[in-house]
């Protein structure tokens, strides 16, 4: 049986590196790519090495970054450009294996089992540097979790090997937060029971972790001990879509039900357009609400029958909101997500009391709107109710959404 060899390639400071590549005049300056401050999305999405040396961190606000580095260059994200470079990188990976599994735009796992992983990692780094003009760090291991950890250990432009022989020496002394899926909240829970390193997590009895973290405790225990056996997907394979959703931080705080209704219709239209694009109907609608003090919650409801009709999804979302939010504080962000998806052509029981002809007309109308927007732009056609408030109705979540990493768990 061939020895398992997994690589994880992470293009260093991806967005900022691509921007500096295309703008020679800023290459020697501290640069960050950040969201739209006027739309209240003003956080650091990526930074170059010079900005990193100044103490700037991904996720902090742009005003905080400017305080640390007064000469900071801030740029808006250019996702079409980043997508192009992501495709170039995957073409390079495809020369070595057909098992390439993306993890966001700038990261990917490669299964090169039976080959010399360190040699291939060094060759990939050299090609990315030579052919794309940016750098990458590559982790080499016998599983996906340690391969990703390896790509994080040394940056920029480095290869790190974590093997079955050295993982205790290399991985176990690292902070527990360095392990995939140990975020800030989970890290705090683990530190409260005396776990601050990956090694301490690995040595803690699984029963203790499960009692504190539920099923995730068992997962993280396996990760820390190098017991991940999840496969790398073949290039072109798609994980089943489990949900379609959009959320937005609103241009101003929402103060009443009418404000919320505008945003829910905007989000529902985007979500339903994307479901129609992929050929799905939803059986469940989920809303997420965050107030202006950052307290948040989610609620969900089952639909009477699967739907991709924006009016039906918006009505269900609005009913959920009215049932569960009594306006203790203004609202900063809202999300609408459709889950429990079924193929649009799947057979289903029709209601004896529903107006099927009316529903078919509504869906046909939605599809006509999709076509108008595809040809002439999103704002070529809008609901009158959405146009009642220019700033709130002027959001295009389908076109403006940030690209998030694909989840590890499929």
Q: How many CA atoms lie within 13 A of 241 on its CB side?
A: 18
Q: What is the DSSP letter of 197?
A: B
CB count in 10 Å sphere of residue 151: 28
Size of the chain, expressed as the number of residues it contains: 410
What is 265-333 written as a DSSP string? HHHHHHHHHHHHHHTEEEEEEEEEEEETT--EEEEEEEEEEEE--HHHHHHHHHHHHHHH---SS-EEE
Give, for 6, the enclosing helix (H) or strand (E).
Answer: strand 6-11
3-state secondary structure of 185: helix
Contact status, residue 314 vs residue 362, Cβ threshold 8 Å: no
Q: Which residues are catalytic?
A: 107
How far is C-alpha 350 from the chain's CA centre?
36
Q: Is residue 324 within 8 Å of 288, Cβ to Cβ?
A: no
Element (H, E) at 247: strand 243-254
């Amino acid at each position: 049986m061939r020895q398992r060899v997994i690589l994880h390639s992470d293009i260093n400071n991806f967005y900022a590196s691509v921007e500096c590549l295309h703008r020679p005049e800023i290459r020697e300056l501290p640069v960050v790519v950040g969201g739209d401050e006027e739309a209240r999305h003003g956080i650091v999405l990526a930074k170059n090495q010079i900005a990193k040396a100044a103490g700037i961190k991904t996720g902090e606000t742009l005003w905080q970054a400017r305080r640390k580095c007064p000469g900071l260059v801030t740029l808006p994200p250019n996702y079409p450009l980043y997508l192009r470079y992501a495709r170039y990188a995957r073409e390079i990976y495809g020369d070595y294996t057909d098992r390439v599994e993306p993890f966001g735009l700038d990261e990917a796992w490669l299964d090169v089992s039976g080959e010399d992983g360190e040699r291939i990692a060094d060759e990939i780094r050299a090609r990315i540097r030579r052919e794309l003009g940016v750098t990458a760090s590559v982790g080499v291991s016998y599983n996906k979790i340690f391969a990703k950890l390896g790509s994080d250990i040394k940056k920029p432009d480095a290869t790190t090997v974590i093997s079955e022989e050295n993982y205790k020496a290399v991985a176990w002394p690292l902070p527990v937060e360095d392990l995939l899926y140990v975020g800030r909240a989970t890290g705090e829970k683990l530190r409260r029971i005396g776990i601050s390193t990956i090694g301490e997590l690995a040595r803690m009895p699984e029963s203790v972790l499960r009692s504190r973290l539920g099923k995730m405790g068992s997962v993280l225990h396996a990760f820390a001990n190098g017991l991940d056996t999840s496969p790398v997907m073949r290039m072109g394979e798609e994980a089943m879509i489990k949900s379609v959703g959009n959320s937005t931080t609103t241009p101003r705080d929402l103060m009443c039900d009418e404000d919320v209704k505008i945003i829910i219709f905007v989000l529902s239209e985007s979500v339903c357009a994307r479901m129609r694009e992929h050929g799905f109907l939803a059986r469940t609608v989920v809303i997420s609400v965050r107030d202006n003090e950052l307290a948040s919650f989610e609620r969900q409801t089952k639909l009477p029958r699967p739907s991709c009709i924006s009016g039906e999804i918006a009505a269900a979302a609005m009913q959920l909101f009215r049932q569960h939010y009594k306006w203790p504080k203004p609202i900063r962000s809202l999300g609408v997500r459709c889950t429990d998806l079924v193929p649009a052509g799947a057979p289903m029981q029709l209601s004896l009391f529903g107006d099927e002809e009316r529903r078919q007309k509504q869906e046909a109308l939605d599809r006509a709107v999709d076509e108008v927007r595809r040809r002439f732009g999103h704002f070529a056609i809008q609901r009158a109710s959405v146009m009642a408030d220019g700033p709130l109705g002027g959001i295009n979540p389908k076109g403006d959404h940030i690209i998030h990493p694909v989840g590890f768990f499929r």
